[in-house]
Amino acid sequence: MTAFKKLTLTEPELVQALQSKDPAVLKTLYSMYSSAIYGVISRIITHTELAEDVLQETFVKIWQSAAHYDNTKGRLFTWMMNIARNLSIDKLRSKDFKNSLKNQDIENNVSFVEEQNKVTFNPDILGVKQLVDNLKPDLQAVLDLVYYKGFTHVEAAEKLDLPLGTVKTRIRLAIIELRRNFN
């Protein structure tokens, strides 16, 4: 096995190896990104076991649909993160997630999702909370819903009782704020 393969690669190297189905690259990819992706998943799904299941599913899907990734349309991480977000949201809304809760109304999905994710930050996520605290409260509220809880902007608009355009603008401002923080 290529146990001594270096554990960081540039993005083009990663993509090329991933698309040629080099098994070693999956290990590299996992060591580079699993914790960042798990950070995204575990904010949407607070239940550790389920969140880890989704992480596993995410990497299975990355491996199996690597050929569909098109680097002209965005960064590899964005693609992987969106797989993780979609699988997380699917999991939240899936039958096996709510099998203990009967008669769950489709219309109540949003509030249901919210209830499942009552803001019970575990210590691992405290750093995030602090970062977002630096944002203005109205920006924070939107980012909270969209990034942490897996809301769509439409759901967030409903939840916050705001026009769609305002929600979009606030998401943009929140991300601009993040960009400023990181630069």
Partner 1 sequence: MSVENLKAYIESGVLELYVLGDLSPEETLQVEEIASQYPEVRDEIAAIEQAIEQYAMQNAVEPSSAVETRLFEQLGLSEIETPETVQPAPAYTEAPKIIRLDESDGKVRTLRYALVACVALLIISTAALFITYNKLNDAHDQIASLNLDKQKFAGVVSKLEFENQGLGNMAAMADSREWATINMTGQPFSPASKMKVYWNKKDKSVLINYIAMDLPKADKEHEYQLWALVNGKPVSLGVFGKSDSTSNEALVKMPAIQEAQAFAVTLEPMGGSVNPTMEKLTVMGGV
- Concatenated DSSP letters of the chain: --TTS-S---HHHHHHHHHTT-HHHHHHHHHHHHHHHHHHHHHH---HHHHHHHHHHHHHHHHHTGGG--GGGS-HHHHHHHHHHHHHHHHHHSTTTSTTS-S--STTHHHHHHHHT-S---GGGHHHHHHHHTS-HHHHHHHIIIIIS---HHHHHHHHT--HHHHHHHHHHHHHHHHHHH-
Binding of partner 1 by 69 (CB under 8 A): no
Which residue has 């990819």 as its token pair? 29
Site for partner 1 in 74-93 (CB under 8 A): 74-75, 77-78, 81-82, 85-86
CB closer to partner 1, 71 vs 94 = 71
Contact region with partner 1 (CB under 8 A), list: 58-66, 91-99, 104-112, 113-121 = 58-66
Closest CB 101 distance from partner 1, rounded Å: 26
Closest CB 174 distance from partner 1, rounded Å: 8
Binding of partner 1 by 168 (CB under 8 A): yes
Kindly write out the interface string for residues 119-148 of this chain, putting x where it contacts partner 1 by CB under 8 A and - elsewhere.
-----xx-xx--x--------------xx-
Contact region with partner 1 (CB under 8 A), list: 47-55, 92-100, 106-114, 133-141 = 47-55
The answer to whether the CB of 83 falls within 8 A of the CB of 40 is: no
Q: Note the residues at the interface with partner 1 (CB under 8 A).
A: 21, 23, 26-27, 30, 34-40, 42-43, 51-52, 55-56, 59-60, 63, 72-75, 77-78, 81-82, 85-86, 124-125, 127-128, 131, 146-147, 152-153, 165, 167-172, 175, 178-179, 182
